[in-house]
Chain A
Amino acid sequence: SQQGEEDPQALSIQEGENATMNCSYKTSINNLQWYRQNSGRGLVHLILIRSNEREKHSGRLRVTLDTSKKSSSLLITASRAADTASYFCATDRVGQGAQKLVFGQGTRLTINP
């Protein structure tokens, strides 16, 4: 079953604009992670936010986490054509014991030059 649901499924913006993607989940989590996937390649880890954190930054990335609403957002500022990729959220659920990450279906981001 899918834990994370990304929104929107696809996003197309102009270079230089900011891109915001959202992720909702259903059960309590230890942490939430965002990954990027270029077409036909493996996923690359971007950022991890723990359940007791509310906001985290890494370069042009900003992630927020609202555990009361069971949601997270990923903001990419000053987008570049090279940011074109699919972005996935993944949750590390509480009580799983086996450290399984569960992925959402992703947001396909297109940056138009």
Chain B
Amino acid sequence: DGGITQSPKYLFRKEGQNVTLSCEQNLNHDAMYWYRQDPGQGLRLIYYSQIVNDFQKGDIAEGYSVSREKKESFPLTVTSAQKNPTAFYLCASRSQGSYNSPLHFGNGTRLTVT
């Protein structure tokens, strides 16, 4: 079955440590996205990538970094510079070339930093 896999489901880290969240898709989608969701809130865009080896900052990119070396993979690193990293992180993808296409989401990674 085609879809998006995020791992791990839960992640715990100590303050000051960098952590990388995995996102893999087998939908053959060009565009991939990372969103952050805080309790009771909507989604805020962190980074997005429309094509391999290219990515752009979203609305809240500070303290985060990404790479897009393969079409299938778009890992997100939460660095120690991110002031409030505890949140639910969602990865998504969509087919490129049309504005009228939906996002496909993974089931998220819940990150807790203490």
Q: A residues within 8 Å of B by Cβ?
A: 1-2, 4, 30-31, 33, 35, 40-45, 48, 50, 88, 90, 92, 98-106, 108
Question: B45 touching A100 by the CB < 8 A rule?
Answer: yes
13 A-B pairs in the complex with CB atoms less than 8 angstroms apart: A2-B42, A40-B108, A42-B92, A43-B105, A48-B102, A50-B100, A99-B31, A99-B96, A100-B33, A100-B45, A100-B48, A103-B35, A105-B42
Beta-carbon contact of A30 and B99 below 8 Å? yes
The reply to whether B90 and A43 form a contact with Cβ atoms under 8 Å apart is yes
State the total of A-B contacts with C-beta under 8 angstroms. 66
Q: Number of contact residues on B: which range applies?
A: 20 to 34
Whether B59 lies near A41 (C-beta < 8 A) is no
B41 at the interface (CB under 8 A from A): yes
Q: Which B residue sits closest to A96, measured CB to CB?
A: B99
Contact of B102 among A2, A4, A33 (CB under 8 A): A33
